Amino acid sequence: MDKIPIAVLASERGSNFQAILDAIDRGECAAEVKVLITDNPEAKAIDRAKSKNIPVEIIDKKAVPDREQFDLEIKKKLDEYGVQLVVLAGYMRIIKSKELLDAYKYKIINIHPSLLPAFKGSTHAQHDAFKQGCKMSGLTIHFVTDDIDGGPILYQEAVEISDCKTGDEVADTIIKIEHEAYPQVVDSFARGKYEIQGRRVIYVAD
Ligand code: GRF
């Protein structure tokens, strides 16, 4: 089957990006990464892209301080590379441009390390769950809308964290499951249809 052209947006380590690349190599994810876009010239994700000869587009926030303009630069790149799905993988900026969100409506997905709406909007949801004394946390993959971490949910998985001794341990426990789940959702997106009915996302296989 044809592989869906995707863009990955990552700001830092990029381990989810790597998990997607590895799943593609194993033939388990029907996607082709057309471009890595980052706002951070130091992101480790850049090396991961380069080692696979994937084009890298660095849009430096210092060079483009205006938020709308910054997002429009991203949109320009997405259009240029003809992507059909935009995968946020540790992308640490909020997409604010309505023009970008409208143009890629239900084509931008994000992964959040909690069972949303728990710890919605937090950049350290795993540590929040630990401090809160949660026995279970998890991960959520959702469409990106103007409601931060509030878009329709494609996938959730609960992860037991009752044995974790630190917030970092919670993060290490959850990310292992993220690495399994994210490529699978990208693969499902490539192979079928996610229909939105109100707040619910219904998956229809092709
Ligand atoms: C992950 O925990 C993800 O859920 C969150 O940011 C982290 C990114 O990690 N959105 P990595 O850059 O993919 O290693």
CA distance 183 to 157: 14
Contact 144, 196 (CB under 8 A): no
What does each of the 206 residues of the chain score in pLDDT, given as a tens digit? 789 999 999 999 999 999 999 999 999 999 999 999 999 999 999 999 999 999 999 999 889 999 999 999 999 999 999 999 999 999 999 999 999 999 999 999 999 999 999 999 999 999 999 999 999 999 999 999 999 999 999 999 999 999 999 999 999 999 999 999 999 999 999 999 899 998 899 998 77
The structure tokens listed for 176 are 């292992």
Global pTM exceeds 0.75: yes
Q: How close is the Cα of 78 to the center of ligand 1, in Å?
A: 21
Q: What is the largest CA-CA distance in the chain?
A: 47
Of the chain, the end-to-end C-alpha distance in Å amounts to: 11
pLDDT of residue 171: 98
CA distance 41 to 204: 39
Pairing of strands 153-160, 136-143: antiparallel
Q: How close is the Cα of 103 to the center of ligand 1, in Å?
A: 25
Atom of ligand 1 lying closest to residue 174 CA: 2
Burial bucket for residue 166 (CB in 10 Å: 0-12, 13-18, 19+)? exposed
Residue of 178, 179, 186 with the most ligand 1 atoms within 8 Å of its CB, for mutation: 178
Q: What SS3 class is residue 190?
A: helix
Closest by CA position to 71, among listed 48, 109, 37: 37
pLDDT of residue 120: 98
Residue 139 φ/ψ, nearest 5 degrees = -145, 155
Residue 18 Cβ < 6 Å to ligand 1: no
Q: Which residue, judged by its Cα, is nearest atom 1 of ligand 1?
A: 90
* Cα-based torsion angle of the residue sequence 55, 20, 3, 81 in order, rounded to the nearest 10 degrees: -30
Domains defined along the chain, listed by start: 4-203 (3.40.50.170)
Residue 140 Cβ < 6 Å to ligand 1: no
DSSP letters for 69-99? HHHHHHHHHHHHHT-SEEEESS--S----HH
The structure tokens listed for 119 are 């710890």
Q: Which residue, judged by its Cα, is nearest atom 12 of ligand 1?
A: 14
